[in-house]
Amino acid sequence: MEVSVLSINGTETGKKVKLSESIFGIEPNNHAIYLDVKQYLANQRQGTHKAKEKSEVSGSTKKLHRQKGTGGSRKGSIKSGTFVGGARIHGPRPRNYSFKLNQKLKQLARKSALAYKAKENNITVVENFNLDAAKTKQYISILNNLNLGNEKVLLVLPEYNKNIYLSSRNLPKSKVIVASDVNTYEILHANKVIFLENTVTAIENILN
């Protein structure tokens, strides 16, 4: 599969980049994608939620009235979860939501996500560029030249570039990551994925 390389002005450079069939041309595995995205979202959770249970709430432990003969329900203490100000019954406790996935499955998931983007023609390859300073206006201009100004965009760099990262940081629909940090969730979350020329080689080295 070949993709034309565009300049930052939005014009074709005449160059083409070949996308590896072993990554961009595979049959996507939906279950691998599901597991990888589930793990990614689980890892974002802090798990610090906590509610007080019966033994932790301050209050009298005295039995409110005798067990039988009142005609009402039995009540152990004012700390019961059925009373206002009482405990939370089976409340949340701090926990770790992360779980393990095999590396081969995670690679399959990322390949599957990229294969979906390639099939939908949502991958754009741009010639390598750099910004002299962190200018959001300049970065927006590049996206507009590529007709991606109103799209949810993921720009994948071969290595960290401070000026490009800072230029895109304030844009809610744009995200910049390096090839080593590519993950299934970010690929699928974006409408369009932009690769620099050198990024394609970096992605193939990582996933193969």
pLDDT per residue as tens digits for the range 6-32 = 888 888 888 888 898 999 999 999 999
Same domain, 9 and 72: no
Integer Cα distance of 185 and 20 in angstroms: 21
Domain at 171, CATH number: 3.40.1370.10
Q: Which of 96, 131, 166 is the last residue in one of the domains?
A: 96
Mean pLDDT computed over 81-105: 93
**Half-sphere exposure (CA, 13 Å, Cβ side) for 162?**
2
Q: Identify the pLDDT of residue 10.
A: 84
Domain containing residue 76: 47-96
Q: Identify the pLDDT of residue 37.
A: 97
Q: Which of 32, 61, 96 is the last residue in one of the domains?
A: 96
Query: How many domains, the chain?
Result: 2
Query: In sequence order, what are the residues at sequence separation of 6 or more whose Cβ sits closer than 8 angstroms to the Cβ of residue 124?
Result: 3, 6, 146, 148, 192, 193, 194, 195
Model confidence at 2: pLDDT above 90 = no
**Both tokens assigned to 196:** 């620099």
Q: Which of 80, 96, 112 is the last residue in one of the domains?
A: 96
Same domain, 129 and 200: yes
Same domain, 164 and 86: no
Same domain, 142 and 80: no
Same domain, 107 and 156: yes
Mean pLDDT of the chain, nearest integer: 92
CA 187 vs CA 10, 73, 119, 155, 184: distances in Å? 22, 56, 13, 10, 5
Give the pLDDT band of residue 1 (cuts 50, 70, 90). Answer: confident
Integer Cα distance of 13 and 183 in angstroms: 29
Tens-place pLDDT, residues 111-164: 999 999 999 999 999 999 888 899 999 999 999 999 988 889 999 999 998 999
Integer Cα distance of 146 and 126 in angstroms: 9
Same domain, 183 and 104: yes
Same domain, 73 and 162: no
**Both tokens assigned to 40:** 């990614």
Integer Cα distance of 4 and 27 in angstroms: 23
- H or E element in which residue 192 lies: strand 192-196
